[in-house]
């Protein structure tokens, strides 16, 4: 049932500053790697809308495990069944641990957004260090769980409140509104929005290349300081996000809305409701 929330449409490019190494291919992730920068394209061929689903999450978890070992040259990643819990984070469910682990990476992480990114997709964005997008109409971000009778279960609302303030986080989370690239940049939801895809990619590649010049220990050290004050603590995420969504997910209201959504989108295929959820969601309540 959670699949309905994990949409991450169209292209997403994740740039990590890491030491050069050869990484294996991951089913839904295309990785290239040079001069200390790894480019990761999320391309979920199991889904017509590039859903941020368990395939992507599982592949990301495997990639992160390698990156946690700090870029060692590993050529094979065993295919393993998806564990519900990260063994190192026994109190976090798998998706919550996944995005938490991204915040803990010693490498710098930059998310590049050229499509819709809602729900858990946006929680993934918020767990990256930086976020860049274009002003194209295809870019729409949302933390939309409230419209399903749920809450952002991995702390996405908390990260948002730090970036855009309490009042605007309440507005976008409680109303489950879409935000476009230009407004997201003005509010601080993302770092910047560029007019064209080419400008976006040039900027991010130059930024990644620059960070990759610097000693890895300094990057990791500076990240710890900023995380210490700007990221919700693990305890707060568990108590005020994860524990709450586990209760809400069992309510008849939330289950009925998710079922209605799956039916209306023909199991999350391309359709007006998927493309313009922010406007079209009212049809679910008619």
192-194/130-134 β-pairing: parallel
What CA–CA distance (Å, rounded) separates 44 from 52? Answer: 8
Q: Which is nearer to its own copies, 8 or 172 (CB)?
A: 172
User: Residue from 65, 163, 199, 280 that binds its own copies (CB under 8 A)?
Assistant: 163
Touching its own copies, residues 63-122 (CB under 8 A) = 108
Count the neighbouring beta carbons within 10 Å of the beta carbon of residue 41.
Answer: 14
Touching its own copies, residues 181-200 (CB under 8 A) = 187-188, 190-191
Q: What angle do CA 224, 230, 233 make, to 5 degrees?
A: 80
Touching its own copies, residues 20-59 (CB under 8 A) = none
Q: How far is the CB of 251 from its own copies (least distance, A)?
A: 6
User: Residue from 25, 30, 137, 224 that binds its own copies (CB under 8 A)?
Assistant: 224
Q: How far is the CB of 154 from its own copies (least distance, A)?
A: 10
User: Residue from 83, 88, 137, 221 that binds its own copies (CB under 8 A)?
Assistant: 221
DSSP conformation class of 254: H
What CA–CA distance (Å, rounded) separates 183 from 181? Answer: 6
User: Residue from 12, 133, 179, 219 that binds its own copies (CB under 8 A)?
Assistant: 219
Q: Which is nearer to its own copies, 68 or 146 (CB)?
A: 146
> Could you give phi then psi for residue 280, rounded to 5 degrees?
-85, -15
Helix (H) or strand (E) holding 14: strand 12-17
């Amino acid at each position: 049932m959670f699949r309905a929330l994990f949409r991450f449409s169209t292209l997403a490019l994740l740039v990590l500053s890491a030491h050069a190494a050869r990484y294996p291919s991951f089913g839904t992730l295309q990785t290239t790697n040079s001069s200390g920068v790894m480019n990761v394209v999320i391309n979920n061929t199991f889904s017509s809308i590039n859903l941020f689903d368990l395939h992507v999450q599982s592949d990301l978890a495997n990639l992160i495990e390698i990156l946690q070992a700090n870029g060692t040259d590993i050529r094979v990643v065993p295919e393993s069944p998806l564990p519900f819990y990260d063994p190192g984070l026994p109190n976090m469910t798998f998706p919550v641990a996944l995005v938490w682990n991204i915040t803990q990476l010693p490498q710098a992480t930059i998310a590049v957004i050229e499509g819709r990114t809602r729900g858990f997709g946006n929680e993934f964005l918020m767990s990256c260090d930086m976020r860049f997008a274009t002003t194209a109409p295809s870019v729409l971000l949302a933390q939309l769980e409230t419209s399903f009778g749920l809450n952002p279960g991995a702390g996405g609302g908390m990260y948002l409140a730090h970036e855009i303030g309490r009042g605007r986080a309440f507005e976008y989370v409680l109303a489950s509104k879409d935000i476009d690239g230009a407004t997201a940049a003005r509010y601080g939801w993302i770092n910047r929005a560029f007019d064209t895809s080419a400008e976006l990619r040039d900027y991010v590649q130059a930024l990644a290349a620059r960070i990759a010049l610097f000693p890895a220990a300094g990057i990791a050290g500076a990240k710890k300081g900023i995380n210490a004050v700007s990221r919700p603590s693990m305890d707060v995420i568990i108590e005020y996000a994860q524990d709450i969504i586990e209760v809400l997910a069992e309510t008849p209201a939330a289950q009925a809305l998710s079922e209605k959504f799956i039916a209306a989108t023909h199991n999350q295929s391309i359709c007006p409701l998927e493309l313009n959820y922010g406007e079209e969601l009212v049809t679910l309540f008619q």
